[in-house]
């Protein structure tokens, strides 16, 4: 992004950002805000829709946790009336999911002011709740405490796409002392309009930021290589894949938590109930009988077939799996291969057409 401005945080970066959001509402740049907020007695910030500036000081825009992926909600809300513009604070993976959802007609990007958050990773929901007990200012401390950072969700530890893309405005945290300052970056267009309304003055971007990003990236890249090659190896045989899928409870949590799985109801979840009994009996006659509920391998393969091109690597599927199957590792591994083959990257650009709709006559099979 071209413009960068530092804002004073006075020891609470979350609050500083909240205030900016409140200003956007006051200035009528937007009519609503989507941002995480924990409403007592709950301590876990969940996505919240607000339209009263006074409510903003209850929110936690920088909380290192994502109750569920906010992309699904932002997409849904964005399909509302044209007159209501909404600012949505989203993580990079959530923006990527939003872009994919937009291509599938599930989001109306024009209605959104997308505010991207640089993301060192998120904590699992339960970890956040536990840590919150011990750390009063967890949201603020997280950004300076490497120990806390090392506890982020397993998928996040090997995420290399931690910088937001396709946002109008970015909240910058890397390479900055958040107790003093946070950064806001923007480009021409709606982002610049918002920056003007917020009276942000473009300034110099501190050089440490570049270094911080680079070192995080190289650390993540090697982690990712390790995870991926392990998982590539495991799933590349039917028994390896089965060693994971065999435990699947068939709860469909992973599918429901997936921000790009946009079907109202997964075709596989229906099928699990509509199994053709005759077929089941036939198969039951083969070696070893048949595992019930049936169709779980088919479920995971179907989801891969349908969505590997669109997987944004958010890790939500792993986070929600009650039996701790590394769903996201499987998914990211297959997604990397698929997206490479199709010369596509999930969430890269709202203009990039869905590869499966490219029926051109060119080329050979």
Partner 1 sequence: MKEAARALVMGGGVSGLKAAMDLARAGCSVFLAEKQAVPAGLLLGLDRQFPSNHCGLCRVLPPDPSGRTWQACMRRGFGHPGIEFFPGFEVQDIQGSPGNMSATLIRQTLMVDSDKCNACMQCVEVCPVHMPDLFSTGQIPVKAISRAAPHRPPHHLAISLEACTLCGRCRDACREGAIDLDAAREEKVLDNLDFAVLASGVEYCLPEVYNLYQSAAHADVITTLDFEALLSSAGTDIMRPSDGRPVRRAAWVQCAGSRSLKLEADHCSGICCMISLKQASLAREKDIQCSIFYMDMRTSGRDWQKYLDRAREKGVELIRCRPHSIEQVPEEQILRIPHAPSPGNQQDRDFDLVVLSVGRDPAWKPPEYAGREGVFTSPGSRRVLDIARSIIAASATAATALGEDRQESLPDQEAKDQDQVHSRVLVVGAGPAGLSAALTLAAGNIPVVLVEQKDHLGGHGLSNISPEQRKEVQDLAARAMEHKLVQVYPSAAVISCTGPAGGFKSRIRDSSGDEKEILHGAAVLATGGRAAPVARQEDRTADIFEYSRRIFAAGNSGEAPESVIFILCHNTRQEPANYCSRVCCSLALKSCLQTLSLRPEAEVTVFYRDIMVQGDDEELYTRARSEGVRFIPYSPDAPPSLEAKDGKIRVKGSDPYLSEESEYEAEQLVLAPGVVPAAGSEMARIFNVHSSAEGFLCEADAKYRPVESGRAGIFICGLARNPVPFKEAVLEGRAAAMSALGLLKQGLDSRLQTFVRVKPALCSLCGLCLEACPFKARYAHEETGAMAVDPLACRGCGACVAVCPNKASAWSEQLEENVHELN
Partner 2 sequence: MNTGISRPEEAGTDNSRHKELDVLALVCNWCTYTAADLAGVTRLHYPAQVRLIRFMCTGMIDMRYILSCFLDGADGVFIGGCHPGDCHYLTGNLKARVRIKGIRPVLESVGIPPQRLRLEWIGASEGKKLQEDLTSFARVIEQLGPSDYKGMNLV
Give the CA dihedral 206, 112, 96, 147, nearest 10 degrees.
50
Query: 74: which 2 tokens?
Result: 């932002």
- Examine residue 314 and tell whether it contacts ligand SF4 (CB under 6 A): no
Handedness of CA 86, 180, 198, 189 (dihedral sign): negative
Residue count, binding to partner 2 (CB under 8 A): 43
Query: Which stretch, 31-39, 62-70, 174-182, 250-258, contacts ligand SF4 (CB under 6 A)?
Result: 250-258
Q: Quote the CA–CA distance of 85 and 190 in Å, as a whole number.
A: 11
Among 40, 81, 207, 288, binds partner 2 (CB under 8 A): 288
Among 19, 85, 342, 348, binds partner 2 (CB under 8 A): 342
Site string (268-287) toward partner 1, x via CB under 8 A: --x-----------------
**CB nearer to partner 1: pick between 160 and 342:** 342
* Contacted entry of partner 1, ligand SF4, partner 2, none for residue 240, CB cut-off 5 to 8 Å set by kind: partner 2
Among 188, 208, 265, 341, binds partner 1 (CB under 8 A): 265
Q: Quote the CA–CA distance of 168 and 144 in Å, as a whole number.
A: 26
For the purposes of burial, counting CB atoms within 10 Å of the CB of 327, is it exposed (0-12), middle (13-18) or buried (19 or more)?
buried
Q: Quote the CA–CA distance of 363 and 365 in Å, as a whole number.
A: 7
**CB nearer to partner 2: pick between 79 and 356:** 356
Instruction: Decide: helix, strand or coil at residue 79.
Output: coil
Site string (98-127) toward partner 1, x via CB under 8 A: ------xxx---------------------
- What b/e sequence results for 28-62 when a residue is b if at least 16 CB atoms lie within 10 Å of its CB, and e otherwise? ebbebbbbbbbeeeeebbbbbebeebebbeebbbb
Residue 196 DSSP code: H
Query: 220: which 2 tokens?
Result: 């993540």
Report, in Å, the least distance between residue 236 CB and partner 2. Answer: 5
Among 86, 227, 235, 248, binds ligand SF4 (CB under 6 A): 248
Q: Quote the CA–CA distance of 336 and 334 in Å, as a whole number.
A: 5
Q: Interface residues for ligand SF4 in 251-280 (CB under 6 A)?
A: 251-254
- Examine residue 266 and tell whether it contacts partner 1 (CB under 8 A): yes
Report, in Å, the least distance between residue 253 CB and ligand SF4. Answer: 4
Report, in Å, the least distance between residue 325 CB and partner 2. Answer: 14
Residues that bind ligand SF4 (CB under 6 A): 248-254, 320-323, 325, 327
């Amino acid at each position: 992004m071209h413009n960068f401005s530092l804002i004073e945080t006075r020891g609470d970066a979350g609050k500083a950002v909240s205030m900016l959001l409140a200003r956007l509402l006051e200035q009528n740049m937007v009519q609503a805000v989507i941002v995480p907020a924990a409403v007592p007695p709950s301590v876990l910030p969940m996505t919240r829709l607000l339209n009263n500036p006074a409510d903003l000081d209850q929110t936690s825009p920088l909380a290192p946790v994502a109750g569920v992926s906010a992309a699904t909600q932002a997409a849904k809300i964005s399909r509302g009336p044209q007159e209501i513009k909404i600012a949505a604070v989203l993580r990079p993976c959530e923006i990527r999911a939003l872009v994919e959802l937009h291509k599938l007609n599930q989001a109306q990007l024009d209605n959104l002011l997308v505010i991207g958050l640089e993301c060192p990773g998120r904590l699992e929901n339960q970890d956040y709740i536990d840590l919150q007990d011990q750390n009063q200012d967890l949201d603020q401390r997280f950004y300076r405490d490497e120990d806390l950072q090392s506890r982020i969700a397993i998928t996040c530890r090997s995420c290399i796409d931690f910088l937001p893309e396709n946002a109008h405005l970015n909240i910058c945290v890397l390479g900055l002392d958040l107790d003093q300052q946070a950064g806001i970056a923007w480009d021409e267009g709606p982002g610049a309009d918002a920056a003007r309304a917020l009276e942000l003055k473009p300034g110099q971007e501190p050089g440490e930021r570049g270094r911080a990003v680079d070192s995080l990236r190289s650390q993540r890249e090697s982690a990712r290589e390790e995870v991926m090659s392990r998982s590539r190896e495991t799933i590349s045989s039917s028994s390896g894949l089965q060693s994971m899928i065999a435990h699947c409870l068939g709860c469909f949590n992973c599918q429901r938590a997936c921000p790009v799985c946009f079907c109202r109801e997964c075709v596989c979840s229906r099928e699990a109930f509509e199994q053709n009994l005759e077929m089941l009996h036939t198969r039951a006659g083969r070696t070893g009988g048949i595992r019930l509920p049936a169709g779980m391998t088919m479920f995971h393969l179907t989801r891969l077939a349908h969505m590997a091109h669109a997987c944004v690597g958010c890790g939500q599927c792993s986070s929600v799996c009650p039996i701790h199957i590394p769903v996201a590792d499987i998914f990211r591994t297959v997604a990397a291969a698929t997206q490479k083959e199709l010369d596509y990257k999930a969430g890269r650009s709202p203009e990039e057409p869905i590869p499966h709709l490219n029926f051109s006559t060119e080329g050979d099979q």
